[in-house]
Amino acid sequence: MRLAALQQKNGLILHDADSLSDACASHQLSSPTHPLSTALFEAAYWRTRHLVVGEAPGRGSSLFLQARDDEQWVLRPYQRGGLIAKLSQQRYVWLGVERTRAFREVRLTAALYEQGLPVPRPVACCVTRFGLTYEAALLTVRIPGARALASLLTNGEADEALLKRVGAMIKRFHQAGLDHVDLNARNILVDETGKPWLIDLDRCRLRPPGKWQASNLQRLERSVVKFAPSQVENLMAPLYAGYADAV
């Protein structure tokens, strides 16, 4: 798949348009009277068809969807946090479609995916404008059997070899120029084979090398403290070793 596969239509941007169309047809969501639309990004649409198979913890309340017999998707609405969420939890200021958080994230995720970096394959995103504000949601392919590093840390299941792989993975992203502004143990997933993946690229960007790389690692270390406070040094040492040794 190439970046040329990105197709923009109205308030949607599709990464794998053919795949999305096939999935819609299999669920009878695409027809002359009901074409591909923003409804795909609404939880109610999937719930009424009994295709919601799970829900991720967190502010955004991401849903796991049975998009195909052999593939699940993650539907993630964009949600605000902090004090500003009291004013509006889902609305963002409209500055043009190309500056929306959803379009920026799906383009960045697609670019990294095309480089062979371990990010979930993006399916599509949707932006709905309401005058001076907008709401947005993102669809990505769910990584089968993946668990958050946070869960593995809490349960004492993160061994030295895994942490070295995590460090090496982060180094690969840094070499590609990715500044992950929310690098924490919840945004690192580990699949059934022990391969680490990086998720949630909202507000992230590509940058030249700089102090931000060390800041990313420091942020991750603060996250590790929350989930395994008594083991931080033992856990971070192999992670830093994997980061340093990565080519």
Whether 236 and 224 have beta carbons less than 8 Å apart is answered as: yes
Residue 69 designated active-site: no
Distance, CA of 206 to CA of 179 (rounded, Å): 6
For residues 90 and 77, is the Cβ–Cβ distance under 8 A? yes
Report the alpha-carbon distance of residue 72 to residue 38 in Å, rounded: 19
At residue 68, φ and ψ (nearest 5 deg) are -140, 175
Q: Residues 18, 182, 191, 245: which is the catalytic one? A: 182
- Residue 105: alpha-carbon gap to chain centroid: 9
DSSP 179-228: E-TT--TTSEEE-TTS-EEE---TT-EE--SSTHHHHHHHHHHHHHHHH-
Q: What is the residue whose two structure tokens read 């939880």? A: 43
Neighbours of 152 (CB within 10 A): 21
* Residue 24 contacts residue 40 (beta carbons within 8 Å): yes
Instruction: Please identify every residue annotated as catalytic.
Output: 182
